[in-house]
Structure 1
Amino acid sequence: MTERQPLHGLYAITPPGLTAAGDLALVEAALRGGAAFLQYRDKDADAANRLVTAHALRRLCHQFGARLLINDDLALALAVAADGVHLGAADGDLHAARQALPAGCLLGASCYGDFARARTAVAAGVDYVAFGSVYPSATKPLAQAAALSLFARCRSELGVPSCAIGGITVGNAPALLTAGADMLAVITDLFAAADVEARAAAYQSLFEDQRREFPQPAAV
C-alpha cells in the first residue's frame, strides 16, 4: 500500500486494449505528469492477461507514488494487492467489498446522476463517490448527464470526496473543480493527447491552483 494522501487530483483511467505485453509508456507518462490515481479498466481481456497487466500497473503506480484501483473486479484487486476497487451499480455488493478489502484500501462507487445511490454507497462504507457523465462522452455516449450541483451537495451532505467523470477536458475541468469535484477521471483527453505527460501536468496545475485558493482536503 502507498502512503495515504488526500483523495484529490487527476484520476486516470486506462485506455482500451492496454496490456503488460504492450507499451505501458502512456501510463508511465501520465503518472510522470502527476496523475494521483490510476484505474485499470478492461472489459475484454481474459483473466490471465488482466492479472499480468494489473501486476505491471501496480508496480508502475507505486514507482510514482500513485494509487492503483481496479474497475469492477474485487477479486483481481485483492490478487494484486491493489490500492482499491471501484464498483458500478451491477458490479458487486459494496458492503461485501468493504468487508473484504484490507484496512486502508479504497472503495469507490459509480453513482451516475443519482444522489440517493451516493447516499446509500456512503452508508456502505465507500471512500468516494463518482458522478457522471458530467459532459457528453465518446466512451459512454448513451450515459445520462449528471448535474454539477451534485458535487457541492456531496461535500455538504455526505462529507466524502467526489470524482467527476465523462467528457472531461483541460478546458472544462476548472468548472468541475469550482463545482466541488475532488478528483477528475479522464481517459480520452489524457491518453489521446500528443504529449500525455504534459497533459497530465496541465491537470495537475489546475489542482495546484485550487489548493492555493481553498483548504487542502482531509487525508483518507
Structure 2
Amino acid sequence: MTPSTLNTSTSLAGVYGLTPEWDDTDRLIDGVRAAARGGMRVLQLRRKLVTPEQRRAQALALRDETLKLGVLFIINDDWRLALDVGADGVHLGRDDGDIAAARAAGPHLRIGATCYNELPRAQAALAAGADHLAFGAVFGSPTKPAAVHAPLSLFAQARALPGAAHVPLVAIGGITPDNAAQVTAAGADALAVISALFDSADIEATARRLHQAFSAQPVGSAGAVPAATTSAISPALPPIL
C-alpha cells in the first residue's frame, strides 16, 4: 500500500487504544468503532497469540476501518507488516528489530519506541529515527504485571532530552479513566490503554472519559511526520478542549 493512503497529518496524541486478544474480527471492529466515537485517535494492532496469517488478516481489516474513522493505525513489533498493509506506523520494543532499519525501509512510517523507564534508551531511539516514545508501566498493569515501573516524573525529564521538545510521549500501563488525568498532567501526549478500554462494559463511554483527561492539558506538542497527503480526524470524534 502506498503512503498516499496514510493518515499523514494527524497528530499522534490523545486516547491510544491497543487491541485485545480477540479472534473475532467483526467484534474487534465494533469495539474500535465504539472507541473512536468516544475519542480514540490512535489504534495499535497488538496480537501476540495468533498466526502470522491471522495477524495480517486483522491488520488489513483494521487498516481499512481506521482510514474510514480517521484514526491513526500502528502495528506492534513488525515494521514489515506495517509496510505491507499500509499502516501509519510501527511500535518497536526491546526485541522487535532495529529502529534504523525500519526507518530506512519506511521513511514515511511513524516509528514508536518502548523506552520502559530508561531515558538513555529514549535518547538512543531518537538518534536511530524514532519519532514517538512510550514509557511505562506508569501504574500496575493487568496485561504485563511484571513490567518495570515508570514514574510520572519521567515525562518531564524525557521532554527535556535533546531533540524531544516536539516528540509525542506515550504513557502505558494500568491507565484507567480514574487515573488518566494524573498522567496527562505529568506531560504525556497520549494514553495507551488495553484492558480498561476494551474490557469495559461501555467502550464508547470509557473512551470518552479517557479523552476528557486531556481537556485541561495542551495536547499535540509534537507534529505529524511530514508527508505528501493529509487526512482529517473524523468529525464524529469529540474535540479536545
Q: TM-score range by the shorter chain?
A: over 0.9
Quote the Cα distance in structure 2 between the aligned partners of 1:107 and 1:216. Answer: 16
Task: State the Cα distance separating 1:24 from its structure 2 match.
Answer: 2.3
Task: State the Cα distance separating 1:33 from its structure 2 match.
Answer: 1.4
Point out 4+ residue stretches in structure 1 off by more than 4 angstroms. none
2:124 is matched with which residue?
Answer: 120
Q: Which runs of 5+ in 2 are unaligned?
A: 1-5, 225-241
The 10-residue stretch of structure 1 (156-165 or 71-80) with the greater mean CA deviation from structure 2: 156-165
Q: Secondary structure at the match of 1:131?
A: strand
Residues 19, 49 of structure 1: 8 Å contact kept? no
Q: Residues 198-218 of structure 1, C-alpha deviation per residue, up to 9 Å, x if partnerless?
A: 1111122222332xxx37524
Residues 155, 161 of structure 1: 8 Å contact kept? no
1:202 is matched with which residue?
Answer: 209
- Structure with the bigger RCO (C-alpha within 8 Å, sep 6+) is 2
Task: State the Cα distance separating 1:5 from its structure 2 match.
Answer: 2.1
1:75 is matched with which residue?
Answer: 80
Quote the Cα distance in structure 2 between the aligned partners of 1:9 and 1:22. Answer: 23
Task: State the Cα distance separating 1:16 from its structure 2 match.
Answer: 1.2
Quote the Cα distance in structure 2 between the aligned partners of 1:83 and 1:107. Answer: 9
Alignment of 1:40-189 (within 5 A): 40-103=45-108, 105-157=109-161, 158-159=164-165, 160-189=167-196
Matched, 1:217 2:221: yes
Quote the Cα distance in structure 1 between the aligned partners of 2:220 and 2:106. Answer: 27
Task: State the Cα distance separating 1:93 from its structure 2 match.
Answer: 0.3
Q: Evaluate the alpha carbon distance shift between residue 209 and residue 93 of structure 1 in structure 2; reply closer, same or farther with a 3 A threshold.
A: same
Quote the Cα distance in structure 2 between the aligned partners of 1:57 and 1:21. Answer: 10
Quote the Cα distance in structure 1 between the aligned partners of 2:121 and 2:190. Answer: 19
Matched length: 216
Aligned-residue identity in percent = 46
Task: State the Cα distance separating 1:22 from its structure 2 match.
Answer: 5.0
Tell me the C-alpha RMSD between the 2 structures. 1.5
Q: Residues 55-110 of structure 1, C-alpha deviation per residue, up to 9 Å, x if partnerless?
A: 1111111111011000001111111000000000000001101111142x210000
Q: Residues 127-170 of structure 1, C-alpha deviation per residue, up to 9 Å, x if partnerless?
A: 11100011011100011101111111111223222100000011
Matched, 1:4 2:13: no
Task: State the Cα distance separating 1:20 from its structure 2 match.
Answer: 2.6
The amino acid that maps onto 1:40 is L
Structure 1 length as normaliser, TM-score? 0.93
Quote the Cα distance in structure 2 between the aligned partners of 1:114 and 1:60. Answer: 34
1:39 is matched with which residue?
Answer: 44
Structure 2 length as normaliser, TM-score? 0.85
The amino acid that maps onto 1:164 is A
Matched, 1:190 2:197: yes
Residues 16, 43 of structure 2: 8 Å contact kept? yes
